[in-house]
Structure formats: structure tokens, C-alpha cells
Structure 1
């Protein structure tokens, strides 16, 4: 059998699942990423002649596939946040990024150094694992644009996931600066401070804001005869993603940060316009497609030995992040935030989901620098992501339902059922009677 034909069949099955599984699983404590990871493990365990998905053998493919997935997810994340930016409402996600993420990086660096990783590798691993993921965290994020599901927990986790995928980058560059080089360490750190921290961050923020403003003018303020048709809104979504990212990367800024800021800026224009919903729907579908491809390949990599170098101390490092460092650090970071209950602080602190962004950072850094024992780094990273995916994926639905009931809000399954009933009412009895409309 041809591996290409098998791949096409597998891709077709994955796309069908993208359309079907979310509604099937909405009432159950299980997320579809877990199923795709298992699918990848099962398919690549069979003697089908499929190429081994080794991240070290195909570094550029891993880097660019995960990169595209993250920037598409960041666009969708920014578009679905209804809350306008101001310091007080945005205090929780800002604290999670500027305080908790730095604490997690420091703690993880110390733990990785204790289990025998050199300092540069320890900083790199910490920088890769500290940011939460905008891709796999859909079950604990806000709803679609204008949907209204923007409580304290969902907003904090969504804002954090959008911001920290860009703001973790300086620490990846710090790990690269710590590698042995001919230039004195003091000069490398000075270069890192002004260029990788200050300049790249400022470029990401500034160009993201400017991109969002300019694109908003093109979308909302052109004369009607030359305006963009509603049928092309999905393509505009992709254009927003690629333009803001590409322009920022061309001037060596942080493209991840620029994409999120651009989508937030765009969202601030004409907040009730149908454009936002249609653009978000397109990015959501594209994001899901990229997710399943990456997760199937991750499952295949696990079957073919990705986790083989893992030691007990390495596993303890990943478990410590998920069950100790993130939850305790989150509770301390959010302790003084007004308007959040203890239950909300606990849920936000626990659901620090790791995922596709971490894969990108490690693949990117290993392309740029010669780090010791890269297979061990991939093993620790892969193990932590899988544990996070399983634990958080299983607990997301019941925990969020418990929190919603506690605060007198309808749970996600009830909202989905009401939406389906409303759509049926809008179709009318004649439309429902037509064959194939169910």
C-alpha cells in the first residue's frame, strides 16, 4: 500500500472527526485531542510502511507546521475576546503572563538543572513549557465573538494563552545566548536584553497594533463598491494572520505577539459586525485541521520512541509543573486580584494547558543552537504535553460545568442544545422536512 494513499485516507478520517467529534463529546469528560493522539499511536504502530515522524529528523517541518497552527490559533483567540483592553479588566491575564510565567520559568530551570541538564538546556526547557497553549485550551476559553461566555476564568485563561506565546520568546533567546560562543557572555546578555527583550517585544506590540488598525480600515471603512464581500471573510482572516506575522518577523519582532495584538485591535472595531463571527469560524476550522495533523504525527513519534530517553526524574519534572508549580504559583499570583472567588482562582491556576506552542519553541531553538541531549529534551516535553492533554482534557468539561453551576450560569452542553434548537426554529418546519437537512 502506498504511504501517500494511506495518508490521504487518514487525513479524510481526521477531517470528518473535526466536524463531528466536538458536538459528540460536549457532554463527556473527554476532549478530541486525546482521541487524535491515540489515533496517531494506533496507525503508526501498524506495519503500514509510514515514514517515522521523528522531530529531530525533520526539524523544519515540525517548526513550520506548529508555527502555522499557533498563529492561526492566536488570530482566533484575539477575535473571540469581547472585553476591550484596559488595565483593570485585563489584570488577571497580565499577572499570569508577567508574573506567573516568569516564576514557572525560574522554578522549571532550577528543577531541570537539578536533574542534570546544563544551564542553557534547562532554560530552554523551562521557556518551552512555561507558556500555556492557545491551541488545545478551547474547552476552558471564552466562546465565539459576541456569545457572552466571558466569565473571569475563561477570560483569564484565554488572555493568558494569547499573550504568553509571544512573551515566552525572550527566554528561548536567553537559552540560545547561554550556549558556548566566542563572544563573551556579558556581551551576549547585553545583546539579549536590548534586542531580544526590548526591541523584539516593542516591535511585536507596535506592528501588531498598526496591522490591526490598517486592516480594520480596509475591512470596515472602504466604499461599498470596493468593499470586501462577506463570502471572502475567511480569506481575510488568513490574510490578517499571515500579514501581521510576516511583516513583524521581517523586521525581527515577535510575530506571535503581533498576531494576537492585531486580532484584538481588529476586534475592537465594529464589535457587533458579522465579520468577526465569520472570520473566527474560518480560523477555528483551520486551526482544528492543523491540530489533528500535528497530534496524529505526535502520536506516531511517541510510538517510535519519542519518550524512550525519559527518566523518572525527568517525569517528575513534568508532573511537578502540572500539579505543583503552576497551581501553587497561580494561587499566589492571583491572591490579590479583586472580583475573583477562591474557586475561580483555583480553576485558573490548575488549567495551565501545555501543547502545540511548546513543540514549536523546542523545534525552533534546536534549529538555531546546538543544545546537549536534544532527544532527552523532546522526551520531557512530549511527556509533559501528553499528561497535560489527558489530565486537563478529561477534567475540563466537569470542572467548568461545576464552576458554571456554582455561579448560576448555564453549562456548555445546555448552551449548545439551545443553539441547535434556535437554528431549527429559524429554518422553519418546511426546511426541517426537506431530506438531508437534519
Structure 2
């Protein structure tokens, strides 16, 4: 009479896994827990140990669902990241961000590709693709290092740099993903392919993404706050408008062949510039953040669930790629790229090291797998899954403490005073620039 359906077992197991991931760390720390690694491990445990569970969704065999869910997760996070930024500081405050985007990210892609080629025996296209997939820092999993929600301030130069970098480099990594896909499809790199890539994927799509995002953000601001002035949409207090804004900005930009990820961040950033003191910005942010957390939790549990199907393809060389990126390539390249900026000492070290990897990498690989037949695709997924897990453990467990220390928000005594002086010197140098 009574039966157990796999679907209902799945719902109960995923719900329990998410609750436990957020609840158990509170017995060990008074801080808001970093749950990303626990969500992955909980997904792995639930699908490995609980009888009657349906088969986990394999990203190699079915990349499309992974692409859609991760895409929505990233664009919502990017829009919310744009809303977080309370003010536009002097030009000097943006210099570290520009260095990380223009100098550090391409070099990280190149060095990761070289590691993939020399250590893992990847092709040129495969190495470039894995470098591009792992290049962007993550706006979804990096909340511990970002600036606070609207009207909370706390825009220390370290947090500001990490926030703006994460907001923009998801879109700026896309040209390199497209280059890897184009080389894989063509079987090699030619001058004609390189020229087309520069004109279309770098110049046109980046420009259109920025312009469309700014235009949609401005239009959303007018619709929410000014048209009509006596009965503005912001008076409804409904945060679901944030989701509508994300969909409009991203969908419109992709229709005109721009980079929707850039548009999602820029639209939130541009919207924040209108009626900056209005409480509705906080409602929009809180709604997008809640949606982002829900999608992230489901996606990380699913990633953990997929690990058993990826383990047969995992080799030490894949671990070497992820470890090299997290412990060597990003910290070193980030540190060198910030030479000559206002970043000094511990602040520079923290910005260089905390390049969190996460949901964006899932999207890029699922996107590539959906659009082209990839060589050694299971090995690529194994590499990405390991790197994300390693990042969530290393960065997730230490980022909050490290950034609090460097920004002087949780320490007393000489160390805190030194860190506050470091932050003040960065701010003063940025203001003078």
C-alpha cells in the first residue's frame, strides 16, 4: 500500500543535506559559516549512502541542465553584486581591479593552459579552455570577501577590489572560452580565426555588454523610481522586480550578441546610481541574494552528487592543475599585477590569494560541452569539480577571517591598528590618484 518514490527520497535528502550544511558549522564557530564545501560533501554523501536515491545528473552526459541553472545563478549574483556598491570612489580605487582584469586574468589563463598542456597532456584548445573556464573569480561563493549590502558601507579597498573583480571577470573570461571552443572546432589556430575573435568576441561583445547593461540599468531606474513619480514602482516594495531586471538585462544583451554577464553586473551597478539612498535597493538586493543562495545550494549539492561518476576519470595531473592555480598561479600573478598600485602589504596579499572559483566555472564548461564535442570532457569535469572543491575548502574556511583581519573589523591591538593604517593608506593613495 505504501511505497517510496525516488523523487520524494531525493527531495527529502537534498533538503536535509542543505539544512545540515548550514546548521552543523554553528556548533564550531560563532561566525556565519562558510557552507560551500559542506554542500558539495553533503551531496556526495546523500547520493552515495542513501538507498533509493535516483541516479545523479551526470554533467558529461547532460550538460544542458547544468548550463541553465548555473547561468541563472551567476547572472542573479552579478546583478546583486552591482547593487551592493554604494558609491563610486576616485579613479585610483579602480586601478587594482583593472590590473586584475586586464593583466592578471589573461596571464592566469595562459599559465593554467601551460600547466594543462605540460602536466596533463592536453591539446592547445583543451589547455586554453580549462584555463578560461577556471579564470573567473566567483561572485556567488565570494560573499565573505565582498562589500556589504546596499546602505551598509564597509567598502574597504580590499573588499571593493575583490567585489568589482568578481563582478566583471565572469563576462571578460567569455572571449577566451569562445577562443578555446573555436580552436577545438577548427582544429587549430589561424590568423583569420584570431582576427575574427578579436573583432567579434573582444571588441563588439564586450562593448555591447557594457552599453546594454548601462542602458537597461538606467531604464530600470527610471521605471522603478520616476515613471510615474506619484506612483512609482518602488512603492510596491516587491523584490521580484530584481529577477525581472536580471532577465531583461541578460536576455536583451544576449539577443544582440553581447556578453550578458557583463550586462547583468553593469545593469545592477547603473541602477544603484539612481535614487542611491532609496530603501528599495536593499529589497532588490535581498531578493536576488535569497534566490542566488537557493540556486547555489542546489547546484553545489548536485556537484557533490556527480563526483562519483567523475572519479574514474580523475588523475593526479588534474589535481595538479587546480592546486597550481589556487596556490601558485593566482597568488603570484595577482601579486605581480598589483605592483605600482595603492595596494600594499597584507592587503595586496589577500587580494592576490582570494580568487574564489565556483559556479561560473560550472557554467562555462557546461556551455562548452553543450555547444561543441569536447575531447576528454569527463577529465575536464573532474578537473573543474576538484578545483571548486579545493577552493571552497581553502578559501571558504579562511576568507572571512583573513579579510576581517586586513580590514580591521574583528581585531584588537597592534595587528588591527597596523591593518587599519594599511587600509587608510590604500584609501588615501586611491583618492590622490
Q: 1:21 to 1:262 in 2, by over 3 A?
A: farther
> What corresponds to 1:292 in structure 2?
297
Q: Distance in 1 between matches of 2:14 and 2:229?
A: 40
| 1:197 and 2:187 correspond | no
Contact 2:356 2:392 in 1 (8 A): yes
- Using the TM superposition, give the Cα deviation of residue 163 of structure 1 relative to its aligned residue in structure 2, in angstroms: 0.4
Q: 1:324 to 1:249 in 2, by over 3 A?
A: same
Q: 1:342 to 1:117 in 2, by over 3 A?
A: same
Matches within 5 A, 1:24-173: 27-28=30-31, 30-46=33-49, 47-84=51-88, 87-115=91-119, 116-173=121-178
Q: Distance in 2 between matches of 1:361 and 1:31?
A: 24
Residue by residue, what CA displacement relative to the aligned partner does 1:240-292 show, whole Å, maximum 9, x if unpaired? 11000000001111000001001000111111110111111101100000010
> What corresponds to 1:319 in structure 2?
323
> What corresponds to 1:414 in structure 2?
none
Q: Distance in 1 between matches of 2:29 and 2:69?
A: 27
Q: Secondary structure at the match of 2:154?
A: coil
Q: Distance in 2 between matches of 1:40 and 1:19?
A: 13
Q: Secondary structure at the match of 1:397?
A: helix
Contact 1:18 1:289 in 2 (8 A): no
| 1:344 and 2:343 correspond | no
> What corresponds to 1:394 in structure 2?
397
**Range with bigger deviation, 45-54 or 273-282:** 45-54
- Using the TM superposition, give the Cα deviation of residue 307 of structure 1 relative to its aligned residue in structure 2, in angstroms: 3.3
| 1:8 and 2:11 correspond | yes
Q: 1:206 to 1:45 in 2, by over 3 A?
A: same
Q: Secondary structure at the match of 1:307?
A: helix
| 1:267 and 2:272 correspond | yes
- Using the TM superposition, give the Cα deviation of residue 137 of structure 1 relative to its aligned residue in structure 2, in angstroms: 0.5
> What corresponds to 2:428 in structure 1?
none
> If the length of structure 1 is used for normalisation, what is the TM-score?
0.88
Q: Distance in 2 between matches of 1:390 and 1:19?
A: 15
Q: Secondary structure at the match of 1:179?
A: helix
Contact 1:78 1:264 in 2 (8 A): yes
Q: Distance in 2 between matches of 1:225 and 1:344?
A: 46
> What corresponds to 1:416 in structure 2?
none
- Using the TM superposition, give the Cα deviation of residue 353 of structure 1 relative to its aligned residue in structure 2, in angstroms: 0.5
- Using the TM superposition, give the Cα deviation of residue 372 of structure 1 relative to its aligned residue in structure 2, in angstroms: 1.1
Q: Distance in 2 between matches of 1:184 and 1:353?
A: 30
Residue by residue, what CA displacement relative to the aligned partner does 1:100-143 show, whole Å, maximum 9, x if unpaired? 10110111111111120011111100000011000000111111
> What corresponds to 1:429 in structure 2?
none
> What corresponds to 1:436 in structure 2?
none
Cα root mean square deviation, aligned: 2.4
**Range with bigger deviation, 15-24 or 208-217:** 15-24
- Using the TM superposition, give the Cα deviation of residue 12 of structure 1 relative to its aligned residue in structure 2, in angstroms: 4.0
| 1:211 and 2:216 correspond | yes
> What corresponds to 2:380 in structure 1?
377
Contact 2:81 2:265 in 1 (8 A): yes
- Using the TM superposition, give the Cα deviation of residue 410 of structure 1 relative to its aligned residue in structure 2, in angstroms: 12
> What corresponds to 2:427 in structure 1?
none
Contact 2:17 2:42 in 1 (8 A): no
> What corresponds to 1:251 in structure 2?
256
Q: Distance in 1 between matches of 2:27 and 2:237?
A: 30
Contact 1:21 1:32 in 2 (8 A): no
- Using the TM superposition, give the Cα deviation of residue 189 of structure 1 relative to its aligned residue in structure 2, in angstroms: 2.0
Q: Distance in 1 between matches of 2:26 and 2:151?
A: 20
- Using the TM superposition, give the Cα deviation of residue 65 of structure 1 relative to its aligned residue in structure 2, in angstroms: 0.5
> If the length of structure 2 is used for normalisation, what is the TM-score?
0.89
- Using the TM superposition, give the Cα deviation of residue 19 of structure 1 relative to its aligned residue in structure 2, in angstroms: 8.0
Q: Distance in 1 between matches of 2:219 and 2:139?
A: 25
- Using the TM superposition, give the Cα deviation of residue 231 of structure 1 relative to its aligned residue in structure 2, in angstroms: 4.2
Unaligned runs of 5+ in 2: 421-433
2:313 to 309, 315, 320: 309
Contact 1:14 1:292 in 2 (8 A): no
Unaligned runs of 5+ in 1: 412-438
Residue by residue, what CA displacement relative to the aligned partner does 1:38-87 show, whole Å, maximum 9, x if unpaired? 21111101222322221012111000000000001001111001231653
> What corresponds to 1:233 in structure 2?
238
Contact 2:9 2:53 in 1 (8 A): no
Q: Distance in 2 between matches of 1:182 and 1:372?
A: 11
